Amino acid sequence: MANDETGAIRSRLLAVREAIAAAAAQAGRPAADITLIGVSKLFSEHTALAAWQCGLADLGENRVQELLPKQDWLAQAGARPNWHLIGTLQRNKVRQVIGRTALIHSVDSLSLLDEISRRSQAAGLITDVLLQVNATGEASKHGFAPLELDDALAHGWRLPGVRIRGLMTMAQQTAFPEETVPVFTAVKNAFERAARRPDCPDGWTVLSMGMSQDFAQAIRCGATHVRVGSAIFGPRPL
Protein backbone atom coordinates (compact mmCIF):
# COMPACT_ATOMS: atom_id res chain seq x y z
CA MET A 1 0.00 0.00 0.00
CA ALA A 2 1.28 3.49 -0.87
CA ASN A 3 2.51 5.60 2.00
CA ASP A 4 -0.08 8.29 1.29
CA GLU A 5 -2.91 5.75 1.68
CA THR A 6 -1.45 4.50 4.95
CA GLY A 7 -1.09 8.09 6.09
CA ALA A 8 -4.75 8.75 5.27
CA ILE A 9 -5.82 5.73 7.34
CA ARG A 10 -3.62 6.86 10.22
CA SER A 11 -5.13 10.35 10.09
CA ARG A 12 -8.74 9.12 9.95
CA LEU A 13 -8.07 6.60 12.71
CA LEU A 14 -6.73 9.37 14.93
CA ALA A 15 -9.83 11.49 14.24
CA VAL A 16 -12.13 8.57 15.13
CA ARG A 17 -10.24 7.90 18.36
CA GLU A 18 -10.51 11.58 19.29
CA ALA A 19 -14.27 11.50 18.62
CA ILE A 20 -14.58 8.36 20.75
CA ALA A 21 -12.70 10.06 23.59
CA ALA A 22 -14.95 13.11 23.36
CA ALA A 23 -18.15 11.04 23.40
CA ALA A 24 -16.86 8.95 26.30
CA ALA A 25 -15.96 12.09 28.26
CA GLN A 26 -19.49 13.42 27.70
CA ALA A 27 -20.84 10.23 29.21
CA GLY A 28 -18.37 10.30 32.10
CA ARG A 29 -16.64 7.17 30.83
CA PRO A 30 -12.98 6.45 30.09
CA ALA A 31 -12.20 6.11 26.39
CA ALA A 32 -10.24 2.95 27.21
CA ASP A 33 -13.58 1.23 27.93
CA ILE A 34 -14.53 1.46 24.23
CA THR A 35 -13.32 -1.17 21.76
CA LEU A 36 -12.98 0.23 18.24
CA ILE A 37 -13.61 -2.36 15.52
CA GLY A 38 -12.48 -1.35 12.05
CA VAL A 39 -14.90 -2.79 9.49
CA SER A 40 -12.74 -3.77 6.53
CA LYS A 41 -15.61 -5.13 4.43
CA LEU A 42 -14.77 -4.90 0.69
CA PHE A 43 -11.37 -3.34 1.38
CA SER A 44 -8.25 -5.23 0.36
CA GLU A 45 -6.01 -7.28 2.60
CA HIS A 46 -3.34 -4.60 2.15
CA THR A 47 -5.73 -1.96 3.48
CA ALA A 48 -6.67 -4.08 6.49
CA LEU A 49 -2.99 -4.74 7.17
CA ALA A 50 -2.24 -1.02 7.01
CA ALA A 51 -4.94 -0.31 9.60
CA TRP A 52 -3.47 -2.97 11.90
CA GLN A 53 -0.02 -1.47 11.43
CA CYS A 54 -1.49 1.91 12.43
CA GLY A 55 -2.52 0.41 15.76
CA LEU A 56 -6.04 -0.90 15.07
CA ALA A 57 -6.17 -4.15 17.06
CA ASP A 58 -9.73 -5.23 16.13
CA LEU A 59 -11.07 -5.82 12.63
CA GLY A 60 -14.59 -6.80 11.58
CA GLU A 61 -16.01 -8.49 8.51
CA ASN A 62 -19.59 -8.97 7.36
CA ARG A 63 -19.20 -12.19 5.38
CA VAL A 64 -17.50 -15.48 6.20
CA GLN A 65 -16.20 -15.82 2.64
CA GLU A 66 -14.34 -12.52 3.01
CA LEU A 67 -13.26 -12.98 6.62
CA LEU A 68 -11.41 -16.27 6.25
CA PRO A 69 -9.04 -15.52 3.34
CA LYS A 70 -8.33 -12.04 4.69
CA GLN A 71 -7.58 -13.49 8.11
CA ASP A 72 -5.21 -16.04 6.59
CA TRP A 73 -3.46 -13.42 4.44
CA LEU A 74 -2.88 -11.09 7.39
CA ALA A 75 -1.62 -13.95 9.52
CA GLN A 76 0.95 -14.81 6.85
CA ALA A 77 2.01 -11.15 6.93
CA GLY A 78 2.54 -11.44 10.69
CA ALA A 79 -0.64 -9.57 11.68
CA ARG A 80 -3.06 -11.20 14.09
CA PRO A 81 -5.83 -8.74 14.95
CA ASN A 82 -8.89 -9.72 16.92
CA TRP A 83 -11.40 -10.73 14.25
CA HIS A 84 -15.10 -9.98 14.67
CA LEU A 85 -17.89 -11.36 12.49
CA ILE A 86 -20.52 -8.63 12.42
CA GLY A 87 -22.74 -9.62 9.49
CA THR A 88 -25.44 -12.22 9.04
CA LEU A 89 -24.16 -15.74 9.66
CA GLN A 90 -25.86 -18.64 7.90
CA ARG A 91 -26.04 -21.91 9.80
CA ASN A 92 -24.23 -23.78 7.02
CA LYS A 93 -21.22 -21.48 7.48
CA VAL A 94 -20.89 -21.95 11.25
CA ARG A 95 -18.45 -24.85 10.96
CA GLN A 96 -16.10 -22.63 8.95
CA VAL A 97 -15.80 -19.89 11.58
CA ILE A 98 -15.65 -21.87 14.83
CA GLY A 99 -12.34 -21.01 16.46
CA ARG A 100 -11.67 -18.18 13.99
CA THR A 101 -13.32 -15.22 15.73
CA ALA A 102 -12.85 -13.22 18.90
CA LEU A 103 -16.58 -12.45 18.86
CA ILE A 104 -19.60 -13.18 16.66
CA HIS A 105 -21.87 -10.13 16.94
CA SER A 106 -24.78 -11.25 14.81
CA VAL A 107 -26.57 -14.23 16.40
CA ASP A 108 -30.12 -13.52 15.29
CA SER A 109 -32.02 -16.77 16.00
CA LEU A 110 -32.15 -19.66 18.42
CA SER A 111 -31.44 -22.11 15.61
CA LEU A 112 -28.19 -20.29 14.82
CA LEU A 113 -27.26 -20.19 18.50
CA ASP A 114 -27.91 -23.94 18.77
CA GLU A 115 -25.72 -24.64 15.75
CA ILE A 116 -22.85 -22.56 17.14
CA SER A 117 -23.19 -24.45 20.41
CA ARG A 118 -23.18 -27.83 18.68
CA ARG A 119 -20.19 -27.08 16.46
CA SER A 120 -18.23 -25.46 19.28
CA GLN A 121 -18.84 -28.32 21.66
CA ALA A 122 -17.75 -30.83 19.01
CA ALA A 123 -14.53 -28.85 18.52
CA GLY A 124 -13.88 -28.58 22.24
CA LEU A 125 -14.20 -24.79 22.12
CA ILE A 126 -16.26 -22.04 23.70
CA THR A 127 -17.39 -19.41 21.19
CA ASP A 128 -18.12 -15.88 22.38
CA VAL A 129 -21.23 -14.36 20.79
CA LEU A 130 -23.70 -11.51 21.05
CA LEU A 131 -27.44 -11.65 20.46
CA GLN A 132 -28.53 -9.23 17.75
CA VAL A 133 -31.52 -7.10 18.73
CA ASN A 134 -33.88 -5.59 16.16
CA ALA A 135 -34.90 -2.59 18.22
CA THR A 136 -36.22 -0.54 15.29
CA GLY A 137 -38.75 -3.14 14.14
CA GLU A 138 -37.60 -2.73 10.53
CA ALA A 139 -38.28 -5.77 8.38
CA SER A 140 -34.91 -5.27 6.66
CA LYS A 141 -33.04 -5.88 9.92
CA HIS A 142 -32.32 -9.23 11.53
CA GLY A 143 -32.39 -10.07 15.20
CA PHE A 144 -34.54 -10.75 18.21
CA ALA A 145 -37.39 -8.42 19.05
CA PRO A 146 -36.86 -6.88 22.50
CA LEU A 147 -39.76 -8.93 23.92
CA GLU A 148 -38.07 -12.16 22.75
CA LEU A 149 -34.83 -11.54 24.63
CA ASP A 150 -35.79 -13.00 28.00
CA ASP A 151 -36.63 -16.41 26.56
CA ALA A 152 -33.66 -16.35 24.18
CA LEU A 153 -31.24 -15.64 27.02
CA ALA A 154 -32.76 -18.26 29.28
CA HIS A 155 -32.17 -20.77 26.50
CA GLY A 156 -28.75 -19.52 25.42
CA TRP A 157 -27.21 -19.18 28.85
CA ARG A 158 -27.74 -22.91 29.38
CA LEU A 159 -26.06 -24.03 26.15
CA PRO A 160 -22.63 -25.67 26.22
CA GLY A 161 -19.86 -24.45 23.94
CA VAL A 162 -21.17 -20.92 23.64
CA ARG A 163 -20.89 -17.84 25.84
CA ILE A 164 -23.30 -14.96 25.29
CA ARG A 165 -21.33 -11.83 26.16
CA GLY A 166 -24.04 -9.22 25.53
CA LEU A 167 -26.12 -7.57 22.84
CA MET A 168 -25.64 -5.99 19.42
CA THR A 169 -27.93 -3.66 17.51
CA MET A 170 -28.06 -1.41 14.46
CA ALA A 171 -30.02 1.83 14.51
CA GLN A 172 -32.02 3.13 11.61
CA GLN A 173 -30.36 4.97 8.74
CA THR A 174 -30.94 8.68 9.25
CA ALA A 175 -29.49 12.03 8.27
CA PHE A 176 -29.88 13.10 11.91
CA PRO A 177 -27.73 10.90 14.18
CA GLU A 178 -29.45 12.10 17.36
CA GLU A 179 -32.55 10.22 16.17
CA THR A 180 -30.70 6.98 16.97
CA VAL A 181 -30.56 7.72 20.69
CA PRO A 182 -33.94 6.12 21.60
CA VAL A 183 -32.91 2.89 19.87
CA PHE A 184 -29.54 2.74 21.59
CA THR A 185 -31.12 3.62 24.93
CA ALA A 186 -33.71 0.85 24.59
CA VAL A 187 -31.01 -1.75 23.93
CA LYS A 188 -28.88 -0.45 26.79
CA ASN A 189 -31.90 -0.79 29.09
CA ALA A 190 -32.46 -4.37 27.87
CA PHE A 191 -28.79 -5.12 28.52
CA GLU A 192 -29.03 -3.79 32.08
CA ARG A 193 -32.27 -5.70 32.76
CA ALA A 194 -30.54 -8.90 31.69
CA ALA A 195 -27.57 -8.13 33.94
CA ARG A 196 -29.92 -7.99 36.95
CA ARG A 197 -31.33 -11.46 36.31
CA PRO A 198 -30.22 -14.07 38.85
CA ASP A 199 -29.27 -16.47 36.04
CA CYS A 200 -27.03 -13.92 34.28
CA PRO A 201 -23.56 -15.51 33.97
CA ASP A 202 -20.16 -13.90 34.35
CA GLY A 203 -18.86 -12.20 31.22
CA TRP A 204 -22.06 -10.29 30.39
CA THR A 205 -20.12 -7.12 29.51
CA VAL A 206 -20.48 -6.28 25.80
CA LEU A 207 -22.83 -3.82 24.14
CA SER A 208 -22.02 -3.49 20.43
CA MET A 209 -23.73 -0.40 19.02
CA GLY A 210 -22.84 2.39 16.65
CA MET A 211 -21.23 2.72 13.21
CA SER A 212 -19.45 5.51 11.36
CA GLN A 213 -22.45 7.85 11.35
CA ASP A 214 -23.68 7.31 14.91
CA PHE A 215 -20.93 5.86 17.10
CA ALA A 216 -20.76 9.01 19.23
CA GLN A 217 -24.45 8.70 20.11
CA ALA A 218 -24.00 4.97 20.82
CA ILE A 219 -21.10 5.63 23.19
CA ARG A 220 -23.12 8.21 25.08
CA CYS A 221 -25.82 5.53 25.45
CA GLY A 222 -23.42 2.93 26.83
CA ALA A 223 -21.82 1.12 23.88
CA THR A 224 -18.68 -0.81 24.75
CA HIS A 225 -17.88 -1.78 21.13
CA VAL A 226 -18.35 0.38 18.04
CA ARG A 227 -18.13 -0.88 14.44
CA VAL A 228 -16.58 1.77 12.21
CA GLY A 229 -15.80 1.37 8.52
CA SER A 230 -15.77 4.36 6.17
CA ALA A 231 -14.72 6.85 8.89
CA ILE A 232 -11.45 4.87 9.11
CA PHE A 233 -10.97 3.40 5.65
CA GLY A 234 -12.63 6.01 3.48
CA PRO A 235 -15.35 5.46 0.87
CA ARG A 236 -16.11 1.77 0.46
CA PRO A 237 -15.21 0.21 -2.91
CA LEU A 238 -18.16 -0.66 -5.11
User: What CATH number is attached to the domain comprising 10?
Assistant: 3.20.20.10
Is residue 155 a part of any domain in this protein? yes
Distance CA 227, CA 238 (A): 20
Is residue 33 a part of any domain in this protein? yes
Distance CA 75, CA 82 (A): 11
Q: Which amino acid belongs to residue 52?
A: W
Is residue 235 a part of any domain in this protein? no
Is residue 27 a part of any domain in this protein? yes
- Residue 144 gets which letter from DSSP? B
pLDDT tens for each residue of 167-185: 999 999 898 999 999 999 9
**How many distinct structural domains can be found in the chain?**
1
Question: What pLDDT shows up at residue 180?
Answer: 95
Residue 196 has pLDDT above 80, yes or no: yes
The number of angstroms, rounded, from the C-alpha of 61 to the middle of its chain's C-alpha atoms is 9
Average pLDDT for residues 197-224, to the nearest whole number?
A: 97
Q: Which helix (H) or strand (E) holds 130?
A: strand 127-133
Task: Give 2's pLDDT tier (boundaries 50, 70, 90).
Answer: low
Distance CA 195, CA 202 (A): 9
Q: Which helix (H) or strand (E) holds 9?
A: helix 3-26
Task: Determine the number of helices (DSSP H) and then strands (DSSP E) in the chain.
Answer: 9, 8
CB 104 within 8 A of CB 127: yes
Question: What pLDDT shows up at residue 136?
Answer: 84
Distance CA 71, CA 12 (A): 23
Question: What pLDDT shows up at residue 140?
Answer: 79
Average pLDDT for residues 117-140, to the nearest whole number?
A: 94
CB 85 within 8 A of CB 61: yes
Rg (alpha carbons) of the chain, rounded to whole number? 17
The domain containing residue 219 runs over which residues? Answer: 3-230
Task: Give 159's pLDDT tier (boundaries 50, 70, 90).
Answer: very high
Question: What pLDDT shows up at residue 160?
Answer: 97
Residue 165 has pLDDT above 80, yes or no: yes
Is residue 236 a part of any domain in this protein? no
CB 218 within 8 A of CB 180: yes
Least confident of 4-8, 67-71, 109-113, 131-135: 4-8
Question: What pLDDT shows up at residue 237?
Answer: 78
Is residue 119 a part of any domain in this protein? yes
Average pLDDT for residues 92-117, to the nearest whole number?
A: 97
Q: Is 157 exposed, middle or buried (0-12, 13-18, 19+ CB in 10 A)?
A: middle
Closest C-alpha to 187, from 224, 138, 134: 134
Is residue 41 a part of any domain in this protein? yes
Residue 72 three-state SS: helix
Question: What pLDDT shows up at residue 1?
Answer: 54
